[in-house]
A and B are shown apart, each in its own frame.
Chain A
């Protein structure tokens, strides 16, 4: 039985890399950022840890498109901490620059626990992201995987080599 309250760090309407339920605290999103940037490496997935103290139901994934969008596709998903995929959008055409792009998925409820938000682009278009210095992503528990488009059924994480924290997540609402 889970407690009938929402903890201080549980997300309200959406769960994203901006939240304290994710790596915020250590990421230091700044007024000067995030900014648009090309994807780190074609087909390289980034996995960002998130955690919940209470169940959270979501209906859509979203990401913040950068200035350059186009033919490359985006796949966003969420994984159990043990590496198994719960759900993903599947490859989705990357459309409309400088806006938040939403993709409906089957309604999904996450139970309290630890998860990884995942996203991959199979081209050189980009997202809004916070640039992280040095090994900051690694310190915060972010991992990555090459040749991971579309997102695999089971993630095979490797140490993060990127300094790219994409702005993306899931939401229970029709919009964000």
Chain B
């Protein structure tokens, strides 16, 4: 593992932004933008896609980075419980929050890892699941012009209905093709930064 550089010190790597969300260049933000999928400044509050579904959004890191929080952008109705986590490129879970009640509407719900998550440069997935379809999240408004665009961007999903506690992110992901026409806005927060 390369050293983690103190905040504010020069690094020989391209550093991660203070937050890393599904909207960021280091995830799928730029690609979605080029496909005009972000809808300018608009977005929708939408019920979760399916009970106990997990969504995996790819991201990359160029520098060693410490994260201590994850967030969701909750929509107009809160309900059910959600889980948040991070997987490596082998689909092994590196950390997750565990199921917790969705709390708060029309704003960020921020949760803190039990222990700091230290990730080296590489490719990862941020994961979000919910054990029902009452709760809502903000998602982008524009559907891709052709099916499969999000699959090409590297998104995956997984039904977690068979987990011992349905909706809980598993130790190893068994992903399937992404079948949704939008993606949720959620992400990670670097330790020491304000969100």
- Interface of A toward B, CB cutoff 8 Å: 1-3, 7, 9, 20, 23-26, 28, 30, 32-33, 49, 51-53, 80-84, 111-114, 130-136, 138-141, 143, 157-159, 163
- The reply to whether A113 and B194 form a contact with Cβ atoms under 8 Å apart is no
Q: List 10 A–B pairs whose Cβ atoms lie within 8 Å, in order of A's numbering.
A: A23-B17, A24-B25, A26-B29, A33-B40, A112-B13, A113-B9, A140-B17, A159-B194, A159-B195, A163-B41
Interface membership of chain B positions 180-195, coded 1 if the CB is closer than 8 angstroms to chain A and 0 otherwise: 0000010100000111
The distance from the CB of B111 to the nearest CB of chain A, in whole angstroms, is: 15
Measured CA separation A1–B10 after assembly (Å): 11
Measured CA separation A51–B106 after assembly (Å): 29
- The reply to whether A133 and B42 form a contact with Cβ atoms under 8 Å apart is yes
Q: Chain B contact residues (Cβ within 8 angstroms of A): what range?
A: 35 or more
The answer to whether B107 has its CB under 8 Å from any CB of chain A is: yes
Instruction: Determine the chain A residues whose CB is within 8 A of the CB of B25 once the complex forms.
Output: 9, 20, 24-26
The answer to whether B11 has its CB under 8 Å from any CB of chain A is: yes
Measured CA separation A134–B44 after assembly (Å): 10
Instruction: Determine the chain B residues whose CB is within 8 A of the CB of A81 once the complex forms.
Output: 7-8, 15, 18, 193
- The reply to whether B41 and A113 form a contact with Cβ atoms under 8 Å apart is no
Instruction: Determine the chain B residues whose CB is within 8 A of the CB of A111 once the complex forms.
Output: 10
Instruction: Determine the chain B residues whose CB is within 8 A of the CB of A26 once the complex forms.
Output: 21, 23-25, 29, 33, 38
Q: Name 12 extra pairs, CB < 8 A, besides A131-B41, A139-B19.
A: A2-B12, A24-B25, A25-B30, A25-B33, A83-B8, A112-B12, A112-B14, A113-B15, A114-B8, A135-B107, A139-B108, A140-B21
The distance from the CB of B84 to the nearest CB of chain A, in whole angstroms, is: 14
- The residue among B19, B24, B40 with the most chain A CB atoms within 10 A of its own CB is B40
Measured CA separation A136–B62 after assembly (Å): 23
Instruction: Determine the chain A residues whose CB is within 8 A of the CB of B42 once the complex forms.
Output: 133
Looking at chain A's contact residues, the main secondary structure is loop
Kindly identify which residue among B15, B18, B19 contacts A112, using a CB–CB cutoff of 8 Å.
B15
Instruction: Determine the chain B residues whose CB is within 8 A of the CB of A135 once the complex forms.
Output: 73, 107-108, 138
The answer to whether B122 has its CB under 8 Å from any CB of chain A is: no
- The reply to whether B17 and A24 form a contact with Cβ atoms under 8 Å apart is no
Kindly identify which residue among B12, B19, B62, B138 contacts A140, using a CB–CB cutoff of 8 Å.
B19
Instruction: Determine the chain A residues whose CB is within 8 A of the CB of B12 once the complex forms.
Output: 1-3, 112
Interface membership of chain B positions 158-187, coded 1 if the CB is closer than 8 angstroms to chain A and 0 otherwise: 000000000000000000000000000101
Measured CA separation A59–B41 after assembly (Å): 32
Instruction: Determine the chain B residues whose CB is within 8 A of the CB of A53 once the complex forms.
Output: 13-14, 62
